[in-house]
Amino acid sequence: MIHTFKCPPPSSSSLRRTSAAAARIESRLHQALLKEQFELLFQPQVSLKADALIGVEALIRWRGDDGELISPLDFIPLAEETGMIVAIGNWVLEAACNVTKQGYDQGLSIIMSVNLSPRQLRHPKIHHDRRHYHPYRRRAGVAQA
């Protein structure tokens, strides 16, 4: 027996509400970049064989005006859709490179992993910008989803 389910099409008022909410978040994303409300958290990467820290993964977080963290699930898809992911991703790369340099300056030798979006990888500026990072600041790798 085959069951089919039909969902009613969204009403124009619900589409307007969704569109208005997306526009508000997009505006807040612009403000977050200007106000420097993004921050990086670092997920340790450990070698079980060596029982040692070998690197970290930079994870972006957005701390809103109220001080609460906003989940990447709530802003990354919209940033990707609107193209803002390129500017946000550039901020992440620069911040991660700065942290990596600070570590190297203090004698730490770890690998910094940064997630890039497909849109960011297709952006022509990333290839130009990448040449400006020092060799210890870059290691390219693309993981399949």
SS3 letters across 99-124? HHHHHHHCCCCCEEEECCCHHHHHCH
Q: What is the CATH number of domain 12-137?
A: 3.20.20.450
Share of the chain above pLDDT 70, in %: 74
Q: What tens digit of pLDDT does each residue of 50-102 get?
A: 998 888 999 999 998 999 998 899 899 989 888 899 999 989 988 998 898 88
The helix/strand/coil state of 49 is coil
Question: In sequence order, which residues have a C-beta less than 8 Å from that of residue 108 and are 6 or more positions away?
Answer: none
Cβ(113)–Cβ(137) below 8 Å? no
Q: What is the pLDDT, as a whole number, of residue 122?
A: 82
Domain boundaries, the chain: 12-137
pLDDT over threshold 60, residue 11: no
